[in-house]
Amino acid sequence: MARPFKPRCVDFDPSVTYFKPRAIPLSALEEIGLQADELEALRLCDLKNLDQAQAAKKLKVSRSTLQRILSAARRKVSEALVEGKAIRIEKQRKKQPR
């Protein structure tokens, strides 16, 4: 049985929820979903230049969890840029009811 999802502390609510290549209709593009915690990890580590320990503390996760979140986020953004896919920024996941 998998561990239940532990909510992350995301302090950033983006006003833009889609990024796509120019001059191609969204309906013609494949989408990649970027979770709110993945965007927050990118923002903290790559934009705010926090080290992973500081970013993990802000997200209220372990450093190894932050590393997994960052790796997934960077892979998704890289795939979208290289393969010309749209990026959909998803809202934060809610805690699953028991």
Distance between CA 23 and CA 66 in Å, rounded?
Answer: 35
Mean pLDDT across 20-38: 94
* 93 has pLDDT over 70: no
Q: What pLDDT digit, counting tens, does each position of 48-74 carry? A: 999 999 999 999 999 999 999 999 999
Predicted pLDDT at 15: 87
The answer to whether residues 59 and 17 touch, using CB atoms and an 8 Å cutoff, is no
* 85 has pLDDT over 80: yes
